[in-house]
Amino acid sequence: MQLYIVRHGIAIDREDPKCPSEAERYLTEEGIERTRQVAKGIAALGAHADLMVSSPLVRATQTAAIFASAFDYPEQKIRHTESLLPGAEPAALLRELTREKNASSVFCFGHAPHVDALLAAAVGAQRHITSMKKAGVAFVELKRVSPPNGQLVWLVTPKVFRKTK
């Protein structure tokens, strides 16, 4: 299975007086634009999505929708799972993915530090090996989903896809 792990884009700051509840925090305009650039860049690399799975929190759902648009993936087919919430056990998501027999390429949208823990679990590391940037993407080739046996193929930051003027 090809597993793409995506951290949500830049969201409204918790200290902003207009900031809603944690579950409702949304992407800023800058966050939307940077995420769009990353999604288009990843699509241009030839990646495809058989399945998109997102945390149910607004900022992750928005990030997933931006990627769905770039990949011509129907937004209504994005699945939401509590296994991508902050603090969730990475093994729970990997167990969920074992049931996806027809999905050879899966995009997961979540939060730090959970995405870092998921990446570590997927490659068999005992601790975090990354600190993913907002809208960052890691690509892991999983030989076995659960228990995981994967190899990190690449990790990109949004800066890689930033347009120069």
d(CA 138, CA 141) in angstroms, rounded, equals 10
Is the predicted pLDDT of residue 165 greater than 50, yes or no? Answer: no
Characterize the bridge pairing of strands 149-156 and 51-54.
Answer: unpaired
pLDDT of residue 162: 79
pLDDT of residue 161: 87
Q: For 2-161, which CATH superfamily applies?
A: Phosphoglycerate mutase-like (3.40.50.1240)
pLDDT of residue 108: 98
Condensed to tens digits (0 to 9), the pLDDT of residues 56-103 reads 999 999 999 999 999 999 999 999 999 999 999 999 999 999 998 889
Q: Where are the domains of the chain?
A: 2-161
Please check whether residue 107 is in contact with residue 51, taking contact to mean a CB–CB distance below 8 angstroms: yes
Characterize the bridge pairing of strands 51-54 and 79-80.
Answer: parallel
Condensed to tens digits (0 to 9), the pLDDT of residues 10-67 reads 999 999 999 999 999 999 999 999 999 999 999 999 999 999 999 999 999 999 999 9
Please check whether residue 107 is in contact with residue 134, taking contact to mean a CB–CB distance below 8 angstroms: no
Characterize the bridge pairing of strands 2-7 and 51-54.
Answer: unpaired
The total of other beta-carbon atoms located within 10 Å of residue 20's CB is 11
Question: Which band of pLDDT confidence, cut at 50, 70 and 90, is reported for residue 158?
Answer: very high
Please check whether residue 2 is in contact with residue 51, taking contact to mean a CB–CB distance below 8 angstroms: no
* DSSP result, the chain: -EEEEEE---B--TTSTT---GGG--B-HHHHHHHHHHHHHHHHTT---SEEEE-SSHHHHHHHHHHHHHTT--GGG-EE-GGGSTT--HHHHHHHHHT-TT-SEEEEEE-TTHHHHHHHHHHT-SS----PPTT-EEEEEEEETTTTEEEEEEEE-GGGGPPP-
d(CA 96, CA 91) in angstroms, rounded, equals 9
